[in-house]
């Protein structure tokens, strides 16, 4: 059974930065897609970023337009951990952030997700 645990959320002022971590158990990460989604109050869960396994030790990344250039997804396969570095945070980034894992090499959207973390709250004050 795959288990994902997020950490690193919190309260930050606009313009600040946070790093989210997602540590997994029950699955090695080196050949699967991993990603991040978020859900703001009263809104649908939305895609934020993903990391797709291309082959060997190569991964491609994809971002939602709203976070492109500000957020970066990376992974440390040796530690079975995926990161989301968030910079220039804005109040509209306030949401619960969820780590997601796929059983295949890609994670293009929620349809590819077979395991979710419990979520971590990110609050950005203006």
Q: Percent of the chain at pLDDT above 90? A: 87
Please report the pLDDT score of residue 1 as a whole number.
87
> pLDDT tens for residues 3-32?
999 999 999 999 999 999 999 999 888 899
What is residue 56's predicted lDDT score, i.e. its pLDDT?
A: 86
As a whole-number percent, the residues of the chain with pLDDT over 70 amount to: 100
From the CB of residue 38, how many other CB atoms can be counted at a distance below 10 Å?
Answer: 23
**What Å distances lie between residue 109 and 17, 18, 94, CA to CA?**
25, 23, 20
Whether residue 122 contacts residue 7, with contact meaning beta carbons closer than 8 Å, is answered with no
What's residue 11's pLDDT?
Answer: 98
Give the pLDDT confidence score for residue 65 in this predicted structure. 97
Between the CA of residue 13 and those of 18, 92, 120, 124, what are the distances in Å?
A: 10, 12, 17, 5
Supply φ then ψ for residue 64, to 5 degrees.
-70, 145
* pLDDT at res. 94: 98
* Average pLDDT of the residues in 45-65: 94
Residue ranges of the alpha helices (H) in the chain?
A: none
Mean pLDDT of the chain: 95
Question: Burial code of 64-88, b = ≥16 C-beta within 10 A, e = fewer?
Answer: eeebeeebbbebeeeebbbbbebee
pLDDT in tens, 59-104: 999 999 999 999 999 999 999 999 999 999 999 999 999 999 999 9
Reported residue count of the chain is 126
């Amino acid at each position: 059974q795959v288990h994902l645990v997020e950490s690193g959320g919190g309260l930050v002022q606009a313009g600040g930065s946070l790093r989210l971590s997602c540590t997994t158990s029950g699955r090695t990460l080196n050949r699967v897609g991993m990603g991040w989604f978020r859900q703001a109050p009263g809104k649908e869960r939305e895609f934020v970023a993903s990391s797709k396994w291309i082959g060997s030790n190569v991964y491609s990344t994809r971002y939602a337009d709203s976070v492109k250039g500000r957020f970066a997804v990376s992974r440390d396969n040796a530690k079975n951990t995926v990161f989301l570095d968030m910079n220039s945070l804005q109040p509209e980034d306030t949401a619960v952030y969820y780590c997601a894992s796929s059983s295949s090499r890609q994670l293009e959207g929620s349809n590819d997700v077979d395991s979710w973390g419990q979520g971590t709250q990110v609050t950005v004050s203006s």
